[in-house]
Structure 1
Amino acid sequence: MEAKTVRSKLNKIQAAFSSRIGFFITVLVLFWLKTYIVYNTKFTLGVNGGMQEFLLALNPIPFALLLFGIALFFKGKKSYWIMIVIDLIQSMWLFANILYYREFSDFLTMGVVKSSGSVSNNLSLSISQIIHPDDFLVFLDVIILALLVTFKVIKPDFKKVNYWVPTSIIIASIALFFGNLGLAEKDRSQLLTRTFDNNYIVKYLGLDFFAGYSTYQSHKESTTRAKANSGDLDDVFKFVKKNRTAPNVQYFGKAKGKNVFMIHLESFQQFLIDYKVNGEEVTPTINKFYHDQNTISFDNFFNQVGQGKTSDAETMLETSLYGLPSGSVMTSYGTSNTFQAMPAMLEQRGYSTASFHGDVGSFWNRDNTYKSWGYQNYFSKDYYKDKADYEIGYGLKDKIFLKQSVKYIEQLPQPFYAKLITVTNHYPYELDKKNQSIEKTTTKDATVDGYVQTARYLDQSIAEFIDYLKKAGLYDNSMIVMYGDHYGISDNHPKAIAQLLGKKSVSSYDLAMFQKVPFMIHMNGLQGGINHTYGGEIDVMPTLLDLLGVKNNDTVQMGHDLLSEDVNSMSQTVAFRNGNFVSPTYSKIGSKIYDNQGKVVTDKLSKEQQKQVDEQQDFVSNQLALSDKIVTGDLLRFYTPKGFDKVDKTKYTYKKSDALRNLKKQQKKEKTSLLYKNKGKTTEDLYQTDAPELK
């Protein structure tokens, strides 16, 4: 009798799970559970208080009800398999976001997905480092459910569909979503109307909503351009006029006629300056450069990138416009938009311009964007000799890349503007043993500990390059600019960061300060020193143009000259792409306000102090919004500054055979290149490197 009872109960349980609604509830609960676990274990959403905990648990349900509920309109096996397929697609999206978040501290958007083709090369190494075995557990419920249906442990229900059931579920899902949205708005007002961190949207409204929201944002961006008109520039002109700073007479034109080297220090953070491991300097060459009496070094200079990472940094440096809230300006707008970029401005003043990058030309859509920016020359991977051990991660190793770049640098008519993009100091910070020259750090964080080894390699590469410039006679006739493009170690490693900084723990303020990157301007005869002005990548273009003596009183730039004597507390308010900001007085990180000692003062501000913080927030919000308006509406097509000719993209070609032919024509026409002055004798033999691959 007991066996029959057990069998009877098991049959009832099987029948319950096999019913259409029973299977629906099972799929729903399993999907909710794994999503909630992922929220808490794979993302850092900053959940505070009971309401946020509740919303985090609630937000996967509305869209899950909607999507799985659709399957209930079908009968028999079709209904069950539709639910399993929906669960699989959802799980793939969850899995992709886990990997993306682990490296970028952000979520996948449609802008990123659309631009993935231009940045996908060489990512296999990073992905292999990012994946954790337990990430695949998000597919466990899908596999189990599929097997149960396949082997008929769960037997599909072939009863006639009662359409009121799925209809009621879909109505309930919509009602539940609006309830979720209402509670979210109550806890975080203007959640969707102001620029907040994507973590906020996922924390309050869920990953599914964020996918739809980002899709809408991408669509809105494309339609914005079609609706834009010249009148949209009125607010832009008001902002630019109000916030433009006068050049410093001590520095204006100081570098006029000099060559300009823009050296991109990949993923290089400010904390590396003077940093030691076991008493040994990690970057002795860059440290010496930083402290040189002829170098202006900024110790409160911040990266301001968003999802576009390196491409955002380039966009800000070359155009003084911000990257986008999602995706990349270079990939989404670089081909079609009108820009008034630094390379074009300098070319129109007699400079030859070139960018050097040891990876494929299409990376970040550079092969199209650079034409829009007015680069005459773009030396990408096709121009370099390559062997299997010459590359690591995202292109040619820095020592090999810089040595081979000399072949083209010496052909550029002077003065020239040359940007060299290094890549070896890039996540996952792996370096073959023969190139390692310093011990790893001992934080026990695999992502972090190799960082100093690749930074040291970059430093050695810079030492060899500077040595060449001195031997070739270019050093004394050039302004050398070095900058870090973005963080190397993300906020997702607080314990390791605390150890690196010699702290017990790090606050949100500490992590914001950790976003500092180097910005150094060196030239013989330049009055240098450590400049404490707060600034960011948006300010590089106006700073350099003033040094080069380029009057830009009527240009559209969101940044300002960091050397100006007009710099004030508002102009030193540095915007982050998520709407947070830092300044010498107050900094806003998330929902908290900090003073310049890193203490939380959110509820301790006087009315006057609160007014100042509100004005800073308004400045940041307005600056970001206007920049986005310029980019998404392509507003610069409606305005051309005096003395600037609109860029003709058809003038430029980066096809190797044609480009090298054009370079020779430039040399014959200008007769100022290093090679010409050296009577055709190459200076390549002056470049000394200890790269083991070349021995």
Structure 2
Amino acid sequence: MKTALQKVRRGLNTKLGFFLLTVLLFAIKSYWAYKTKFNLGISDSMQQFLLAFNTLPGALVFLGIALYFRGRLSYWLMILINFLLSTWLFANILYYREFSDFITFNIIKGSGAASNNLGKSLMGIIKPTDFLVYADVIILIVLLAAHFIRIDMRYFKVRYAMTITMIGFVLFGANLAMAEKDRPQLLTRTFDNNYIVKYLGLQAYTIYDGVKTTHNSAVKAKADSNDIKPVLKFLKKNYASPNIEYYGQAKGKNIIIIHLESFQQFMIDYKWKGEEVTPNLNKLYHASDTISFDNFFNQVGQGKTADAELMLENSLYGLPEGSAMVTDGTTNTFQSAPALLEQKLGYTTASFHGDVPSFWNRDNAYKSFGYQYFFSKDYLPKVKDEDMGYGVKDKLFLKESAYYLEQLPQPFYAKLITVSNHYPYIIDKKNTSIKSWNTGDSTVDHYVQTARYLDESVGELLNYLDSTGLRKNTMLVLYGDHYGISNNHKAAIAQILGKKSVDNYDLAMFQKVPFMINMEGLKGGVNHTYGGEIDVLPTIEDLLGISSNKYVQFGQDLLSKNRNQIVPFRNGDWVTNKYTKYNGDYYYTSSGKEIKSPTKAQKAEFAKIQKYVTTDLGLSDKVVNGDLLRFYKLKGFKTVNKKSYSYTLKNGLKQLKQAQKKSKTSLKSQNNNQSTLDQYTTDAPELKGVTLKFPTK
């Protein structure tokens, strides 16, 4: 035993030995912090392994810098680098505790975003165990100061130092390969900083964020006020005037937007085993006071849900790669629906989502959009077995959201984002009320069950709105955010649609998602116009009586009689009421017949449509990438001050309480300040015998 300890000590008395000890201690410390200080959502053994493994590459590369120096400087430089990395970890622990996200260079550049609220309550945020991130630094200093480890003054060859650096990069490559296998498009389709840290570590995340920030800054730096001119010219030329029959019909009404996760149009009126899968949505879809659109398409790219939200709130397309809400949501200037409605019509604005606030960078992007409130998972009661996939189960989420919905001063604009009908369509038996499909595709078969669960959840919410009378003064907007079943499952899609096989036309039509607007007194019916998510905001604005002809918005009012009915897909394909182009093939839209030998006139039509689509997408990208709205002064609109918003639980509850005192227009105020939550009926098994306890601070 003594001999073994002597060998270990001899090893530590070499520079390489001390370096390996430093790396080991740093890796252990980092893994401990990832596990105990952050909520990274580790769900399986592979992710557990990667969480531990990703601590090594960065440690080898950064701490290895010290090996290129000689003597005592090398040792103390190693400790200094460790100290700096530990301080960065410490800072992220504190920031994460307050904002549920990691520090970005945009936040640092934003001056105060990282310290806003954090600095004011620093002593209340810090926990004694946070300082353990410096434990290894202290241990190493003590070992050197006490001469338990002696400094090796011998020259450490540069080629050895370079070898260690290379090993660090090779390990990072292996780390990235394993991460990509477990989470494809990890870096190109970034939707949550938690995922980058979980798979690649804090150091890799910091470098990734730095590169991304530098690239975005370079593009924005080159932009100037002249770049907005072709955008305005294009939008003016293609503006679709409102339909006088509907213009202003929803003036003064509350707006509740129900975001139907991964819900596709083919599910409307769809039957399985002889029964309707979505009876509640079917009833609403066919109601006499609902305008329903049966040729409404999702237009998302890699950003999927985030792209849908960007289009909904801004009538701007998502980017060709990644998510604009992630890359630009923190820093860009927007003229979004929440800010427009607050400033022009005095609306209270709020978004509800049953997951962590950092997902899709919502905690930052919503500030740029001008949302006054963001009720995330932090605001919801803790209930046993509450999660299904990507957040709180819809039945629980919608009932718990009603607790805050009833407190919003009216008129309000509220967006409720469901999550249970999300890939991979996980549902427990106690929440299953219909049999799964039997296509043989395990990824697809449970979709029908989660869609039914979503429908039941929406039905319960609608019953609550009816029972409380809130629905009488509310315009309901429901839309599917993107496809649920991807084109990779063609055999299953064919079975679901009752076909032997599917072609590119079928796949194009499979991109349809529901869009419906319901309001008491509204002249309803199924509208056959061709449109997509980019068109939602102008449609809502015209219904509210605020014409969008001066706004930088790329959609057209779906109710307009002179809209062009061109629906661009993010990859440049398109659908019109006459022709469809998908994956290089052309079809007649009404019949689905392929056009294999187009005439000269048809080729000219295709080219004209393609030019519009390419220009439309390209100019939208220029607006986002160049942050061009900072150069466009919209009359009567004040640029959103992101520092005015805070979504922390403490601040949100305080703000809501103050709003209640200032305005007596909320549902709760109108009910003699008594909650209406007892009128919300749900059959959610998780809530049987459970008293919901909402956070109070």
* Partner in structure 2 of residue 272 of structure 1: 267
TM-superposed CA distance for 1:276, in Å, is 1.0
- Residue 118 of structure 2 aligns with which residue? none
1:347 aligned onto 2:342 = yes
Q: Which residue number in structure 1 is paired with residue 240 of structure 2?
A: 245
What pairs with 1:631-650 in structure 2 (closer than 5 Å)? 631-650=624-643
Q: Partner of 1:493: helix, strand, or coil?
A: helix
Q: CA distance change for structure 1 residues 116 and 350 in 2, over 3 Å: closer, same or farther?
A: closer
Shift of 1:337: 0.5
Describe the shift of the 1:275–1:119 C-alpha distance in structure 2 as closer, same or farther (beyond 3 A). farther
1:491 paired with 2:487, answer yes
Contact 1:291 1:529 in 2 (8 A): yes
Matched, 1:589 2:582: yes
What is the aligned partner in structure 2 of residue 627 from structure 1?
A: 620
In 2 relative to 1, CA 506–478 (structure 1 residues): closer, same or farther, beyond 3 Å? Answer: same
Partners in 1 of 2:165 and 2:182 — Cα distance?
A: 26
Give yes or no for the alignment of 1:431 onto 2:507: no
Give secondary structure in 2 for the equivalent of 1:250.
coil
| Contact persistence 2:192–2:359 (CA under 8 A) | no
Secondary structure of the structure 1 residue equivalent to 2:602: helix
The change in CA–CA distance for 1:220 and 1:580 in structure 2 (over 3 A counts) is farther
Q: 1:263 aligns with which of 258, 262, 267?
A: 258
Question: Are residues 240 and 471 of structure 1, via their aligned partners in 2, closer, same or farther at CA, if it must alter by over 3 Å?
Answer: same
Q: TM-score, normalised by structure 1?
A: 0.71
* Correspondence for 2:306 among 308, 311, 314: 311
Matched letter for residue 586 of structure 2: I
**Whole-Å Cα distance in 2 between the matches of residues 585 and 288 of structure 1?**
30
Aligned length: 521
In structure 2, how many angstroms separate the alpha carbons of the residues matched to 1:122 and 1:488? Answer: 26
Structural RMSD (CA): 2.6
2:460 aligned to which of 457, 464, 469? 464
Distance 1:446-1:87 versus aligned 2 partners, 3 A rule: farther
Matches within 5 A, 1:643-662: 643-662=636-655
Gaps of 5+ in 1: 1-75, 102-106, 124-214
Residue 189 of structure 2 aligns with which residue? 112
Shift in alpha-carbon separation, 1:242–1:439, aligned structure 2, 3 A: same
Are 1:675 and 2:671 matched, yes or no? no
Contact 1:222-1:632 within 8 A present in 2 as well: no
**How big is the shift at 1:673?**
0.7
Tell me the secondary structure at the aligned position of residue 679 of structure 1.
Answer: coil
For 1:523, the equivalent position in structure 2 comes to 519
> Kindly, what percent of the aligned residue pairs are identical?
58
User: Are the equivalent residues in 1 in contact too, given 2:243–2:561 (CA < 8 A)?
Assistant: yes
The corresponding residue for 2:77 is none
Deviation of the 1:454 alpha carbon: 0.7
Quick one: which amino acid aligns to residue 646 of structure 2? T
After TM superposition, the structure 1 = structure 2 runs for residues 215-230 of structure 1, keeping only pairs within 5 Å, are 220-230=215-225
- Distance in 1, matches of 2:462 and 2:380, equals 20
- Distance in 1 (CA, whole Å) between partners of 2:418 and 2:527 is 25
Could you give the per-residue CA deviations for residues 608-656 of structure 1, whole angstroms, max 9, x where no partner exists? 2111100111111111110110001000001121121111222211111
Provide closer, same or farther for how the CA distance between residues 231 and 389 of structure 1 changes in structure 2, counting only shifts above 3 A. same
- C-alpha displacement at 1:670, in angstroms? 2.1
Partner of 1:302: 297
Alpha-carbon distance between aligned partners in 2 of 1:507 and 1:84, rounded to the nearest angstrom: 48
Task: Specify whether residues 82 and 344 from structure 1 end up closer, same or farther in structure 2 by C-alpha distance, changes over 3 A only.
Answer: closer
Distance 1:323 1:263 in 2: 20
* In structure 2, C-alpha distance between the alignment counterparts of 1:651 and 1:538, rounded to whole Å: 28
Q: Is the 8 A contact 2:192 2:358 kept in 1?
A: no
**1:573 corresponds to 2:649:** no
Q: How far did 1:116 drift?
A: 4.2
Is 1:445 the counterpart of 2:441 in the alignment? yes
Distance in structure 1 (CA, Å) of the matches to 2:196 and 2:393: 19
Tell me if 1:338 matches 2:414: no
Shift of 1:94: 5.4
Among 592, 608, 611, the alignment partner of 1:598 is 592
Question: What stretches of structure 2 of length at least 5 have no aligned partner?
Answer: 1-158, 200-209, 689-697
CA distance in 2, matches of 1:395, 1:274: 27
Q: For residues 165 and 675 of structure 2, what CA distance do their matches in structure 1 show? A: 67
Q: Is the 8 A contact 1:396 1:423 kept in 2?
A: yes
Q: 1:79 to 1:351 in 2, by over 3 A?
A: closer
Q: 1:100 to 1:217 in 2, by over 3 A?
A: same
Partner SS state of residue 537, structure 2: helix
Task: Verify the 8 A CA contact 2:384 2:686 in the aligned structure 1.
Answer: no
Q: Secondary structure at the match of 1:390?
A: coil
Residue number in structure 2 paired with 1:390:
386
Q: TM-score, normalised by structure 2?
A: 0.71
**Structure-2 separation of matches of 1:465 and 1:256:** 23
1:150-229 equivalence runs, <5 A: 220-229=215-224
Contact 2:352 2:375 in 1 (8 A): yes
User: Residues of 2 paired with 1:306 and 1:685: CA distance?
Assistant: 41
Tell me if 1:380 matches 2:376. yes
Q: 1: CA distance between counterparts of 2:166 and 2:339?
A: 55
Q: Does 1:286 align with 2:281?
A: yes
2:324 matches 1:329:
yes
Cross-structure match for 2:105: none
Q: Give the drift of 1:96.
A: 4.7
Partners of 1:503 and 1:450 in 2: CA distance: 20
